[in-house]
Amino acid sequence: YTPVTYEDTLNKQNNYQTLKAVALVGSESPLDELEEVRLDNPDNLISLVASNKQPFIVSSLADENRYIPVHADTQSLAMVPLVFSNQLVGMIILEDDRPNAFGYEVLQLLLAMSGSLSAVVQSAQLREELQKSNQQLMELDRLKSDFLANMSHELRTPLNSIIGFSRVMLKGIDGPLTEMQEQDLTTIYNSGQHLLYLINEILDQAKIAAEKLDLKFGYFEIKPVVEGVKSIGIGLVKDKNLDLNVELANNLPKAYGDEFRTRQILLNLVSNAAKFTHQGGITIRVYPVTNAHGKTMIKIDVIDTGIGISEKDLPLIFQPFRQVDSSLTRTQGGTGLGLPIAKSLTELQGGEMTASSVEHRGSIFSITVPTEPTVDIPQEDKPQMLAVPKTGPLVDNKEPATKSMPVAKVEKTDTKPNRETTTTEVTAIRATTPMPKVMQTKRQIVLIEDNKDMVDQFRRALQREGFEVVVADHPAYAEAMVSNLRPTLIIMDVNFADGQGWQVLKSLKDRDDTFDIPVIVVTLNSDSQRAYQLGAHTFIQRPYMPDDLIKAVLKAEQESNTERILIIDDDPASIRLLTQLLNQNGAYRVFYAENGTDGISMVARRRPDLIILDLRMPGKDGFAVLEELRSNPETVNIPVIVVTVNST
Ligand code: ADP
């Protein structure tokens, strides 16, 4: 028998223990037919012996009714509690079909045995518990990593707004700022960036722990990476009067790994060196080496003359969340995640990271980067990873399956330590302007007019300007014609067809597929207010000057040709931010949809020239939207920029 505890979760006072049979020898009875015995039952002999923790012999069961034997013909029994450190860990019960079967010697023997048996049972029980709590710990660790990854992800979305909008305001897009406002906003912006940096570190660490960090492998030149790190490093040491030198060996081979992550590793080492060095300088040395397997590697040493790390602390610095001197780090900031992440990233690329240091003299942190593929990349990922062009870490213009539709991806927030996230966004968007306008050459005007003389007059003037003029002289088909042709602009008379022109104008402005085509109203009617209310672009009263008409036509043409951009994003703040940035960078007509389904129908109705798409949306997400756009020949050519916090 072994003890089992039953917990009453509502009322801990009601917890109770039982003894449960775990092994039965010399009997055919099934084990589970033996009832569990509550340890607080005074009418049960097993319970009584267990509480006394002393062996007990029953010479004749005829006189004992507090025990129900396994075998009906049992005459005598011996009960030996197994006790370890004064704790009951089990009980052995022996039955015999003869009376007086257990004498003093048997009891002695059982007692002697019970000592070691108790220890064995106890350690078996402990091992079981240990295994159980190990499993619980592993589960907890997984939950923690998942939580960190999700949380960091969720935090990046609002943070994107904080950084983005403060940047927008700092750039003066929302109007001029007072000096105080500028100072406050700069603090908000910098704090946002700092927070982002920390969140990204936690996200990276969680991804590494969960083995979910994807690297983008490819060949790249190490020199520009090191030089980029140097220019940021100079900013970090400029107030400290430290030197920052780069020594590059000649004829360095190309590196093979993840360029962006390599930059991240080096930035971490250089910013640590800058943090912990107060005099002297920092040197970044880059040279080829041959590793133990005869492979050429690029070695990068980051050497500083700083405070150094003691021999006892050196092995600890690669442990997550570990900081050598928390008092020092508190003044310097940091999460203690930088080095463990940098080391993991180096190893994931197939390289190694080492550190050596002498206290008060300085430290050398070194990494190696392969020059050819070493890490096993899953087969299906290979072509995709190798195909990533070297356009920098943020914009990876992955060539989609359908060649004709360019898809650029801009991550909303960058990973450590980039202090120009929002700038990058703006640059990425700028990079797409001016966009090639597919239908640029079409210059078509639908003329809604039933007066033959007027039609001739307009036609002559407009054709001189190079426009193609199509006439709709009946309200029954004016609307359909505009919808089919989608002309550059419309010229119409509201008095047309005995005043039915008003209704035509209203319908054109109500329809999704025609509402944004500029309408120039040329009429004898004087109700310009009504025309503008209905959405007319220009109102010209007859008789008119031909020059005025041409001027209005050219202006409307220009507006008609501004690119339509559709933003599909479920986060209203994101939409607002993107709209502001777009308006800042050119004249666009910006539409938006707050979910994938609306987005798709908006694409059909508005025929945008460009789509800016978020990936993570409830319901139909960005991936589904992309798939649908690609499978439809009408939308396959519309370029899409993915702007997302999702890094998939
Ligand atoms: P943190 O983000 O807190 O700096 P790291 O993992 O990058 O975390 O570094 C862990 C600790 O290692 C630091 O807190 C510091 O004590 C020590 N350390 C790292 N680099 C250096 C260096 N170049 N010189 C001295 N100490 C260093």
What confidence tens digit (pLDDT) does each residue in 170-185 have? 988 888 999 999 999 9
According to DSSP, the β-strands at 563-568 and 610-613 are: parallel
The Cα–Cα gap between 628 and 624 comes to: 6
Choice from 197, 199, 240, 276 to test ligand 1 binding pocket (greatest atom count within 8 A of CB): 276
First to last CA, the chain: 55
Give the number of the atom of ligand 1 that is nearest the alpha carbon of residue 307. 25
Which residues surround ligand 1 with Cβ inside 6 Å?
268, 272-273, 276, 304, 306-309, 317, 323-325, 329, 334-339, 363
The Cα–Cα gap between 558 and 547 comes to: 17
Choice from 194, 202, 244, 272 to test ligand 1 binding pocket (greatest atom count within 8 A of CB): 272
pLDDT confidence of residue 29: 85
Distance from the alpha carbon of residue 337 to the mean position of ligand 1, in angstroms: 9
Question: What's the pLDDT band for 126 if we cut at 50, 70, 90?
Answer: confident
110 C-beta neighbours (distance < 10 Å), count: 18
Structure confidence by residue, pLDDT tens digits, 331-360? 555 677 889 999 999 999 999 999 999 999
Edge-to-edge order in the sheet of strand 243-248:
243-248, 281-290, 296-304, 362-370, 353-358
410-to-189, 390, 569 alpha-carbon distances in Å: 20, 14, 14
Structure confidence by residue, pLDDT tens digits, 26-65? 888 888 888 899 988 889 999 999 999 888 899 998 888 8
Tell me, letter by letter, the H, E, C secondary structure of 422-460. Answer: HHHHHHHHHCCCCCCCCCCCCCEEEEECCCHHHHHHHHH
**pLDDT, mean of residues 253-267:** 94
pLDDT confidence of residue 380: 40
Peptide bond into 608 cis (omega under 30): no
* Coil, strand or helix at 465: coil
Give the number of the atom of ligand 1 that is nearest the alpha carbon of residue 365. 23
More confident residue, 490 or 645: 490
Pure H helices in 276-353: 326-332, 338-348
Distance from the alpha carbon of residue 327 to the mean position of ligand 1, in angstroms: 12
pTM equals 0.53
Residue 530 has pLDDT above 60, yes or no: yes
Distance from the alpha carbon of residue 62 to the mean position of ligand 1, in angstroms: 78
Give the number of the atom of ligand 1 that is nearest the alpha carbon of residue 322. 10
Give the residue, by CA position, lying nearest to ligand 1 atom 13: 323
pLDDT confidence of residue 239: 86
Distance from the alpha carbon of residue 276 to the mean position of ligand 1, in angstroms: 8
pLDDT confidence of residue 323: 67
According to DSSP, the β-strands at 489-492 and 519-523 are: parallel
Distance from the alpha carbon of residue 272 to the mean position of ligand 1, in angstroms: 6
Which residue type is seen at 69? P
Q: What percent of the chain has pLDDT over 70?
A: 87
Structure confidence by residue, pLDDT tens digits, 378-436? 444 433 333 333 333 333 333 333 333 444 444 444 333 433 333 333 333 333 333 44
Distance from the alpha carbon of residue 129 to the mean position of ligand 1, in angstroms: 38
Question: What's the pLDDT band for 324 if we cut at 50, 70, 90?
Answer: low
CA proximity to 505, closest of 446, 444, 589, 546: 446
pLDDT confidence of residue 646: 63
Edge-to-edge order in the sheet of strand 489-492:
468-472, 444-448, 489-492, 519-523, 538-541
Choice from 202, 339, 354, 364 to test ligand 1 binding pocket (greatest atom count within 8 A of CB): 339
Which residue type is seen at 486? R
Structure confidence by residue, pLDDT tens digits, 17-35? 899 998 899 888 888 888 8
Question: What's the pLDDT band for 372 if we cut at 50, 70, 90?
Answer: very high
pLDDT confidence of residue 227: 93
239-to-231, 328, 418, 493 alpha-carbon distances in Å: 14, 19, 19, 70
CA proximity to 600, closest of 623, 579, 583, 616: 623
| Angle made by CA atoms 526, 527, 532, in degrees to the nearest 5 | 125
Distance from the alpha carbon of residue 268 to the mean position of ligand 1, in angstroms: 9
- Within 13 Å of residue 33, how many CA atoms lie on the same side as its CB? 9
* Coil, strand or helix at 230: helix
| Angle made by CA atoms 582, 399, 583, in degrees to the nearest 5 | 5
Structure confidence by residue, pLDDT tens digits, 447-474? 999 888 889 989 988 999 999 999 998 8
- Where do we find the tokens 């590494």? 208
Average pLDDT, the chain: 83
pLDDT confidence of residue 430: 33
Choice from 202, 309, 326 to test ligand 1 binding pocket (greatest atom count within 8 A of CB): 309
